[in-house]
A and B are shown apart, each in its own frame.
Chain A
Amino acid sequence: MSRIGNAARNIGKLDELARRDTWLNRIHPLPKLLVTVLYLVLVVSFSPRQLTGVLGMAIYPFILFEFGDLSFTSALYRMRIILPVVCLVGVLNPIFDREPALTIFGVTVTGGVLTMLSLMVKGVLTVLATYLLIATTTVESVCGALRMLHIPGILVTEFLLICRYVSVLLSEADRMWQAYSMRAPGQRGVAAGAWGSMIGRLLLRSMDRAKALYQSMCLRGFRENSTLLPVKGLESKDLFYFASFTTTLILLRIFPVLELIGRLFV
């Protein structure tokens, strides 16, 4: 199985996850979107040395993975490309900042290590939160929620189409790769001489297909500022979800929970 084909199927898998019928999937997309955005903002807002504070924010993904019927390991597996990248962000900090910041069990931790760790944790948590949103909410309903927030229809359409075209691009690349490897048996990767024309063809083909897809949407009544994305009304469970998570998250941001718990034992 080619890696490109894998990527295409991965997107398909995520979409299938998002279409399941669990309580979390049934929560209205708007509160889920807003809670996710709030979470991202709060996590990023911690100062670089507030490691314990950031760690406390892990409670949110923990709760959703635990009760949302989602597998944590397969989430890690799907995010295996992006997570290391995110973790690399602060990797040089320990070199630049060697001031001792605190001592745990006799080991001195420098400020650099502390900021590195908190950047890593922030990165991982934001990726997980985004994953949780897309694994429980379809692209169409995220778009519906954006429309409810009065984001201009043309922008939402753009977003929707980009999401569709990414899979078109991947599946087109997969087809070309298959056709290529059938005629270049035993070869690893694409020969240097063929790259140029392959990329060119890929762009032309995916543009053609994207155009045809768009035409097919228009033939079935799609309009640029279509407000008809299926959005239902908010129910009390949606409001409850929104209220409970926003209060929890804000409390977590204000009170360093882990520190408080830690103090109980000291």
Chain B
Amino acid sequence: MSHIHIDISGLSFEYEKGHPVLDSISVSFHEHDSVGIIGANAAGKSTFLKLLVGLEMPPQGSIRIEEIPVEKNTLSKIREKIGYVFQDSDTQLFMTTVQDDVAFAPRNYGLPEDEVARRVARALDLVHIPHLAGKPIYKLSGGEKKLASIATILSMTPDIILMDEPSAALDPKNRRSLIHVLNEFDHLRIITSHDLDFIWDTCSRVVLIDAGRIIADGIPDVILRDETLLTAHGLELPLSLSER
């Protein structure tokens, strides 16, 4: 059995010349890690996730996923292993109904129709939206779209889950069930968020980035309690910790 891990070394990236978004990042993630990437707006969190699935290509540094380097000709192999939830659900969903969208990946991987149906049902169950199966995407609420987006990657049964701001748009109940889904998933998952309470509830490791550099990397109990560190980088203590 292959051991799931991601190794990143010397990763730098810029959209426009002279404005580095990520600056020589080196870090490794392991099989059962549940990583929270935190940082203020424009810190480079989304860009970091996009680089991992090759949506942007780094000019410098290397990313290896289970020993496979992220390059143009390895992309399809890598993407089979990774489920990626976009920050904006409108870009994630493109089929007409929820059901079709959730079935898109398994169908594309050539699974037989009964297996596709099984996976769709299971994915919708996990995020508690079986009742939305036949609903057209354009009639969904913001939070429903988010849950549907998450279902579209759960149906891929990925080895690794990447989620960009998954808790935004969710009401407390759905937020709690998403926490539950993430905690049930026992492979590598990487979540970006500035909802530090959500990170507190789902992550076993926190990486703080600011201006494209890793500022801190450690267990939540240390980083999320360090008020000076957080405020210095545009964040605040999680509510659940600050009340105590």
A216 / chain B contacts, CB cutoff of 8 Å:
86, 91-94
* Option from A8, A213, A228 in Cβ contact (under 8 Å) with B91: A213
B88 / chain A contacts, CB cutoff of 8 Å:
212
Stretch at the interface among B19-27, B104-112, B170-178, B220-228: B104-112
Rounded to whole Å, the gap between the CB of B99 and the closest CB of chain A is 10
| A16–B55 CB distance below 8 A | no
| A222–B55 CB distance below 8 A | no
Q: Once A and B bind, how many residue pairs between them come within 8 Å at the CB atom?
A: 63
- With the chains together, A212 CA to B88 CA distance in Å? 10
Q: Does B84 contact A (CB under 8 A)?
A: yes
Within 8 A of A (CB), among B39-91: 53, 55, 75-76, 79-80, 82, 84, 86, 88, 90-91
B12 / chain A contacts, CB cutoff of 8 Å:
none
Please judge, given known A-B contacts A209-B90, A209-B91, A219-B84, whether A8 and B107 are in contact too, CB under 8 Å. Answer: no
- With the chains together, A220 CA to B94 CA distance in Å? 11
Rounded to whole Å, the gap between the CB of A51 and the closest CB of chain B is 40
- With the chains together, A222 CA to B97 CA distance in Å? 18
A171 / chain B contacts, CB cutoff of 8 Å:
138
| A219–B53 CB distance below 8 A | yes
Q: Does A6 contact B (CB under 8 A)?
A: no
Within 8 A of B (CB), among A219-255: 219-223, 226, 228, 230
Q: Does B142 contact A (CB under 8 A)?
A: no
Please judge, given known A-B contacts A15-B136, A215-B55, whether A221 and B109 are in contact too, CB under 8 Å. Answer: yes
| B108–A221 CB distance below 8 A | yes
Residue interface bits A144-185, CB-to-B below 8 A is 1, else 0: 000000000000000000001000000100000000000000
- With the chains together, A230 CA to B116 CA distance in Å? 11
Q: Does B148 contact A (CB under 8 A)?
A: no
Rounded to whole Å, the gap between the CB of A129 and the closest CB of chain B is 23
In the complex, which residue of chain A has the Cβ closest to the Cβ of B134?
A19
Please judge, given known A-B contacts A19-B96, A219-B79, A220-B152, whether A212 and B108 are in contact too, CB under 8 Å. Answer: no
- With the chains together, A223 CA to B108 CA distance in Å? 8
In the complex, which residue of chain A has the Cβ closest to the Cβ of B92?
A216
In the complex, which residue of chain B has the Cβ closest to the Cβ of A229?
B107
A19 / chain B contacts, CB cutoff of 8 Å:
96-97
- With the chains together, A100 CA to B113 CA distance in Å? 63
Q: How large is the interface on B (under 10, 10 to 19, 20 to 34, 35 or more residues)?
A: 20 to 34
| A213–B94 CB distance below 8 A | yes
- With the chains together, A164 CA to B100 CA distance in Å? 14
A230 / chain B contacts, CB cutoff of 8 Å:
107, 113
| B108–A220 CB distance below 8 A | yes
A16 / chain B contacts, CB cutoff of 8 Å:
96, 136
In the complex, which residue of chain A has the Cβ closest to the Cβ of B101?
A220
Q: Does B156 contact A (CB under 8 A)?
A: yes
- With the chains together, A216 CA to B88 CA distance in Å? 11
A223 / chain B contacts, CB cutoff of 8 Å:
76, 108
B96 / chain A contacts, CB cutoff of 8 Å:
12, 15-16, 19, 138
A138 / chain B contacts, CB cutoff of 8 Å:
96
- With the chains together, A216 CA to B83 CA distance in Å? 10
Residue interface bits A34-55, CB-to-B below 8 A is 1, else 0: 0000000000000000000000
- With the chains together, A213 CA to B105 CA distance in Å? 14
* Option from B75, B91, B104, B110 in Cβ contact (under 8 Å) with A220: B104
| B92–A221 CB distance below 8 A | no
- With the chains together, A46 CA to B2 CA distance in Å? 67
- With the chains together, A164 CA to B96 CA distance in Å? 10
In the complex, which residue of chain B has the Cβ closest to the Cβ of A172?
B90
Q: Does A218 contact B (CB under 8 A)?
A: yes
Please judge, given known A-B contacts A9-B138, A138-B96, A220-B105, whether A228 and B84 are in contact too, CB under 8 Å. Answer: no
Within 8 A of A (CB), among B149-193: 152-153, 156
Q: Does A217 contact B (CB under 8 A)?
A: yes
In the complex, which residue of chain A has the Cβ closest to the Cβ of B152?
A220
* Option from A12, A217, A228 in Cβ contact (under 8 Å) with B136: A12
Q: What are 30 inter-chain pairs, A to B, with CB distance below 8 A?
A: A12-B96, A12-B138, A15-B96, A16-B96, A19-B96, A164-B94, A209-B90, A212-B88, A212-B91, A213-B91, A216-B92, A216-B94, A217-B94, A217-B104, A218-B79, A219-B53, A219-B82, A220-B104, A220-B108, A220-B156, A221-B76, A221-B80, A221-B104, A221-B105, A221-B108, A221-B109, A221-B156, A222-B108, A223-B108, A226-B108
> What 3 A-B pairs have minimum CB-CB distances, sorted nearest first?
A221-B108, A212-B91, A220-B105
Additional pairs, 15, CB under 8 Å, beyond known A12-B139, A230-B107: A12-B138, A138-B96, A209-B90, A212-B88, A213-B91, A213-B94, A217-B94, A219-B84, A220-B152, A220-B153, A220-B156, A221-B80, A221-B108, A228-B108, A230-B113
